[in-house]
Homo-oligomer: A and B are copies of this chain.
Amino acid sequence: MASLRVELGERSYPIEVGVGLLGDAACYRPFVRGQRAVIVTNTVVGPIYLAQVKQALHTCGLEVLEIVLPDGEAHKTDASLNQIYDAMLRARCDRSVTVIALGGGVIGDLAGFAAATYQRGVPFIQVPTTLLSQVDSSVGGKTGINHPLGKNMIGAFYQPQAVISDVAALNSLPERELRAGIAEVIKHGCIADAEFFAWLETHMPQLLARDPAALTHAVVRSCEIKAAVVGSDERESGLRAILNFGHTFGHAIEAGLGYGEWVHGEAVAAGMVMGAELSTRAGLISSQDVERVRALVKAAGLPFEGPSGLSEARYLELMAIDKKASGGRIRFVVLERIGAANVRGDFADQTVCESIRACARI
């Protein structure tokens, strides 16, 4: 087992990473108070892991309430949130209850936001069961729901008491979801750690084979990198933006194809190759470095090209929605080198289009 700490002053919390943690009472004991816990999970994860988590909480002497929601981003809504509130209120949970989020990013966001707002805030523990949520959404305190007029429009920054990341839980993860998580792992190497990037170049087969030691290292190092960025910019005013490497292009791909066609990690993967291309055109990294990014994305079995049928003009149009939010210019995360990133808004449309074209069959 490995452990790290997200440093956020009085809101600091630990992340425990290892094999078999989600059924281990000792992992929960230091972080629960009161007599009750509410496990929020979904219909896919619940049948596999709910019994183990429940057993561990019982061992801690807690009474356990279960809330099993339908699976998927389509359910990250007001309606699911109200389902959590209703169940907790009907069970007369008071402010000493601990909310346990057992599942991927959707469950973490929903349960975290419910915890942030139930009786003005109750403690919660994240037990992420996907690689994406272990390396990304469980760090940083973003919680919330979608609104018919936009994704993640309603939410709060709210930190958990602890994150318990069981890499054994990744054995039940569909292959495509595993690869999607690896995209964010690669991103962390790109923006912050050349050595980790090099480690990924040599250990990709082990990660894809779900080797526990390799997964533990990848999760820990990703969390350390994200935690360092978040720790210096909890409420996303500046530096935190470098975590969006590959995401501006990626969001355009997701929106252009219709959400769900490519999963987020796949769009980010192709987006990172575009971001690397843009970086070399800006005179920042060598074309060899672009090839390293492309090769690593390819080794992970992720798309290294944008989808066919999405024109450069359409990318620009879709990215312009982000542009409005930041005062007139599309801002991109670029690589200064492999292992260091920056945010810039001074690119000509033509340069952006060339970068897209170099990475897509249009």
Residues of A near any B CB (own CB < 8 A): 78, 82, 85-86, 89-90, 92, 94, 116-121, 142-144, 147, 149-150, 152-157, 235-236, 324-325
Contacts and interface: CB of A to CB of B under 8 A. Distances in A.
A156 B153 contact: no
A72 B94 CA distance: 26
Q: Is the interface of A mostly helix, strand, loop or mixed?
A: mixed
A142 B120 contact: yes
A154 B92 contact: no
Given A92-B324, A94-B325, A325-B94, A155 B86 contact: no
Contact of A154 (B85, B149, B236): B85
27 contacts: A78-B78, A78-B82, A85-B147, A85-B153, A85-B154, A86-B149, A89-B150, A90-B149, A94-B324, A94-B325, A116-B156, A117-B117, A117-B154, A118-B153, A119-B153, A119-B154, A119-B155, A120-B142, A120-B143, A120-B144, A120-B156, A120-B235, A120-B236, A121-B156, A121-B157, A121-B235, A156-B156
A227 to B, nearest CB: 18
3 shortest interchain CB distances as A-B pairs: A89-B149, A120-B155, A94-B325
A118 B157 CA distance: 11
Contacts of A154: 85, 117-119
B155 A117 contact: yes
A159 to B, nearest CB: 13
